[in-house]
Structure 1
Amino acid sequence: MNFVQPIRDPYIIEGIKEYLKLRSMRNYLFFCFGIYSGLRVSDLCKLRVSMVKGTHINIKEQKNGNKKKFIIHPKIRQDLENYIEGRRDDEFLFASRQIKKKSQLRGQPIDRSTAYKMLNDAAREFGLKEIGCHTMRKTWGYFLYRQDPNNIALLMQSFGHSKSSTTLLYIGLTQDMLDEAIVRL
């Protein structure tokens, strides 16, 4: 199993957002929800239009059943409003454009492999390596911690970690800290 990294450069994040927005509003919003919420890809895929009509989203995480509430970032509010305009409340927010092979259903959510491909296509454009489905979640944690190291307890709770060292390793900060320490020598 490969260990994926967060995206550490805010300029690259903005570049990826623009890159995705020019190609697909769905993919752009998917990426933005990922880096602004810390949700797993599996939970992002299950979002429905009705869930994003308020200022906050309430969701029960698929993996562990934990309930989470988070604000929809103001930077994407207008794009989100335009994206969902005219769509039914029960539609998946990030619906696939394909007909599912097994079920022959339309309008089903994108799956992990679609999200992975979208992220890796964008990553290749920006020369990033070690990118995967957890990259958006790790990016959210990385910047939340960098903004204020006191957020470690919040991150531990959000990620379901019992030790801060696990959280720091998960968001890629242990390597950053090691690199900075060596440079300061």
Structure 2
Amino acid sequence: MNFVQPIRDPVLIKQIEQFLKNNNERNYILFLLGIYTGLRISDILSLKVKDLKEKNYLIINEKKTRKKKNNTRTIELNPILKRGLKKFLIDKSSDDYVIKSRVGNNKPITRERAYMILREVANEFDIDSLACHSMRKTLGFHLYQQTKDVVLVQKLLNHENPSYTLRYIGVEQDLVNSKLGGFKY
């Protein structure tokens, strides 16, 4: 597994939000969906307007976890995300994809295009390890930092065990790095 990192700096998150909002509203919404729902990019790209318009909750069957017994999740929509969606979805048809491609007739952008969007952000802000999973990891990292509840984050990300979750969101590596920094013989 290629380990990209979460965005650890809240100021940088807000700067990225503003940059995307100023440059491309669709890409801004893509980013908000990623950092405020914790969904995988495949699940974000499958969302249609009817799934989100004028809703307080998103009910989704996650693609990757379909083999698991309970893969339906209900996610409360963050107020910042709801505000962005309200403005963005106002003139969209209910069967339109939320993150709609300009190519083809009502198709979502590809995973590759989503990755390219985030790489453009990475280049703009000089970030080394930013990719689609970074948005999901960002939510997990900051939720863990605020709550210190690894089981909560594990459930949100639908992981099998807490140790994987800590490694996934980069907390385990941060702890190792902080201990190594003060290590002496």
Give the TM-score normalised by the residue count of structure 1.
0.91
Counterparts of 1:26-37 in structure 2 under 5 Å? Answer: 26-37=26-37
- Does 2:142 correspond to 1:137? no
Following TM superposition, the consecutive aligned residue runs of length 4 or more in structure 1 with deviations greater than 3 angstroms are: 182-185
* More displaced stretch, 155-164 vs 165-174: 155-164
Give the TM-score normalised by the residue count of structure 2.
0.91
Mapped contact 1:156–1:164 kept (Cα < 8 A) = yes
Supply the distance in 2 between the matched residues of 1:39 and 1:110 (Cα, whole angstroms): 16
Identity %: 38
Q: What amino acid does structure 1 have at the position aligned with 2:177?
A: D
Mapped contact 1:2–1:130 kept (Cα < 8 A) = no
Q: Which residue of the partner structure matches residue 163 of structure 2? A: 165
Runs of 5+ unmatched residues, structure 2: none
Q: CA deviation at 1:86?
A: 2.0
Q: Which residue of the partner structure matches residue 80 of structure 1? A: 85
Q: Which residue of the partner structure matches residue 11 of structure 2? A: 11
- Does 2:125 correspond to 1:120? no
- Does 2:65 correspond to 1:64? yes
Q: What amino acid does structure 2 have at the position aligned with 1:153?
A: V
- Residue by residue over 1:123-174, the C-alpha shift from the partner in whole angstroms, topping out at 9 and shown as x without a partner, is 1111111111111000010001000112x11222233333221111100111
- Aligned partner of residue 169 in structure 1, secondary structure: helix
Mapped contact 2:36–2:81 kept (Cα < 8 A) = no
Q: What amino acid does structure 2 have at the position aligned with 1:23?
A: N
Aligned residues: 178
